[in-house]
Amino acid sequence: MDLLLIYPSLSKKESYEIEVTEKEGGFLPPLGLATLAAYLIEKGFSVGILDPQIGNISLEQISQYVKENNPKVIGLSTLTSTFEKAKEIGKKLKSDFPDKLMIIGGHHITIFPESAVKAHEIFDIFIYGEGELTAHELMEFFKAKNYDKNMILNSAEDLKKINGIMFKHANKILKTKPREFIQNLDILPMPARHLLPMEKYIPLPIEYKRLPTLQMMVSRGCPFNCTYCSTHGTFGYKIRFRSPEKVIEEIKHVIEKYGARQISFWDDVLTINKEWITKLCDLMIKEKLNIIWNCYAHPNTVTDEILKKMKQAGCFCIWYGIEAGDDSLLKIINKGTTVESIKKAVQLTKKNKIEVRGLFMVGLPGETPKLAQKTIDFAKELDVDYAQFSITTPHIGTKLYEDAEKYGTLKKDFSKYTQHEAIFVPFGYKSKEEVEAMSKKAYKEFYQRPSYILKHMLKVRNLDDIKRYLKAFRIAAKI
């Protein structure tokens, strides 16, 4: 094996603060690593992926896996919340296999390059930005040097020519020029799902209607400038789409190979380009794919015409980033929406018989418990089909992180950046416990309404619905 990619992930207990079993769901595939793997395989390298969250694999088991498969290079990808976990894995493997090259990349390395300084004793090379082209160039370089670690790390002048990396030389961390974004995403193959235990990846009950549900990402970048989002740090503001034809090709593939009955598009704003989404929907209708799908959208990007077309193409659900039920809070986070514009988008979506799922935030800058209650009441007024009340987390690389201490107190323990613990406490709250209690209050008020329970009982149509609701009730009982 030329390269082993490892995805350091939090346990379900760490992610959700409750125990969630594989059968109950919540396990999602590392699509970014699978895309990177597919690109390198296409270029002639042998690649493996290890996802320790599946089977709750220990550090010793990871080390044993490396021993048995003997990869020439070990690579990890990390988010901010998993950076400490990545360092744990890296430290263990560096101790057990000191002659192996260790590289790390991912969102956290891109938006917080200073982390390279803190982990330079563990990892040899850091990749920042989009990883596919950089990883390929690095692997070709490693191959040319016979994967000899000492020879590679003593070739600083050659490494400096590779854009998008950081590495240690003469007791300093050197950072090369940023690599340009991939403009034509069609050059990337579909993710190497065959390297993952796909049968183990089951979303939470509120995230699917049919199983198997397969996830896809067909764009990169986002033109909006919400203060809490760090997407731009990795993928930029200009949105880039794969061609609708390539998307259809991948949908057909996951139907044929994995029996997919639902597609979950993970893109930030699938509806931003009306011409693109219309063409995709037209192709879905023409191909008669017999599949349902869901996506994320910004309330300002939908129209009655687009929603009608999406419904015809099989869209059954849209997740909207609603965030708050007060215009002053929406303005602070630069959402670009108002309470009225959100209402209009939700009404249009319901009119076209598409489910609405709302993403709300608790503990926003400028928020007080009274304003948080407005958000809870707004969620109930909208009567969305499902609501998620995340605790505001000012991620590194965002305007919210930069300004956090203007609005409250911020705890900079990255292992706690899971959106389930109040690491940011607005001045309008007495304590982190008050913020966390407000999040739990939101869930209880929204989901324990008799009208809500009755509405969903009336939606039960088959055995699959019954199984899904039972899973949801089991999880809810643990909160």
Question: Does any domain span residue 188?
Answer: no
Shared-domain flag, residues 17 and 153: yes
| pLDDT tens per residue across span 198-239 | 999 998 888 888 999 999 999 999 999 999 998 888 898 999
Count of domains for the chain: 2
Shared-domain flag, residues 224 and 295: yes
User: What number of residues does the chain have?
Assistant: 479
Question: Does any domain span residue 184?
Answer: no
Structural domain harbouring 153: 3-175
Question: Does any domain span residue 192?
Answer: no
pTM of the model: 0.93
| pLDDT tens per residue across span 334-361 | 999 999 999 999 999 999 999 999 999 9
State the DSSP string of 151-203.
Answer: HHHT-HHHHTTSTTEEEEETTEEEE-PPPPP-S-GGGSPPP-GGGS-GGG---
Confidence of residue 477 (pLDDT cuts 50, 70, 90): low
Contact 446, 387 (CB under 8 A): yes
Question: Does any domain span residue 311?
Answer: yes
Shared-domain flag, residues 386 and 264: yes
Q: How far apart are CA 382 and CA 343, in angstroms?
A: 7
CATH code assigned at 372: 3.20.20.70
Q: Which helix (H) or strand (E) holds 296?
A: strand 292-297
pLDDT higher than threshold 60 for residue 13:
no
Question: Does any domain span residue 452?
Answer: no
Shared-domain flag, residues 262 and 371: yes
Question: Does any domain span residue 191?
Answer: no
Strands 292-297 and 219-220: unpaired
Question: Does any domain span residue 353?
Answer: yes
CATH code assigned at 34: 3.40.50.280
| pLDDT tens per residue across span 68-107 | 999 999 999 999 889 999 999 999 999 999 999 999 999 9
